[in-house]
Structures are given as structure tokens and as C-alpha cells.
Homo-oligomer: A and B are copies of this chain.
Amino acid sequence: MNRILEDVIHKNAATVERITSENTAGYVVADNTANAVAETSFDNTGAQAIVKHLHGVLVSSCQSVIRDLDPTNKLCFLRVATRKFEYLVAPEDYFTITVVQ
């Protein structure tokens, strides 16, 4: 896990605590360069699945779709409502955060 990500996670620990205490199924923070789980409230298998599928497949295909439609545009946030959960995905430069609620 890289240094920047460690700092960010440490700085926002209190906020994460507050948000996850209400109505949240869990969260995953993943490192973009290594495509690895950095911090999560899920078990390893569940977190790995989210990183692989949501971050690996969905976010990158979404970014290229947005760029195809308008090359000057950029993906900011992705909200996927499903029958059971809602996935909130925030792709940043160094890390990607997914919250499941």
C-alpha cells in the first residue's frame, strides 16, 4: 500500500467511522496502481471481487464510454442502484472508493 493512500485513510478515519455507522453495508478502498485492496470492512473474498469487477471492469469501461461520447469530459462519480444494494463508486487518481449501501 503506498504512502499517499495510507495518509488519506488515516486522516479520514473519523469520517469513515461516522458514515459507516449508519445504513451502510460496507466499503472498499482500493489502490489504483496495484489494483489491490487497501482498506475494507468486507472479508477478503468479497473485497477482492468488488475490486476486480467494479473497479477493474466497470470503472474503466465507464471512463472510456464517457471519453468516447465527449473527449473533453471525465468521469467523476458512479452510482449503481441494484435490487439489493446501491454501489457508490468514487474513482480518484490514486485510489478508488466503493461504498455499498
Contact = CB atoms under 8 A, between A and B. Distances in A.
Interface residues of A, number: 27
In the complex, the count of this chain's copies comes to 2
The secondary structure that dominates the A interface is mixed
A28 to B, nearest CB: 11
Interface string A45-71: 000011001100110011001101110
A17 to B, nearest CB: 25
Contact of A65 (B54, B70, B76): B54
Given A57-B61, A57-B65, A73-B82, 8 more contacts: A53-B68, A54-B65, A73-B83, A75-B80, A75-B81, A75-B82, A76-B81, A78-B79
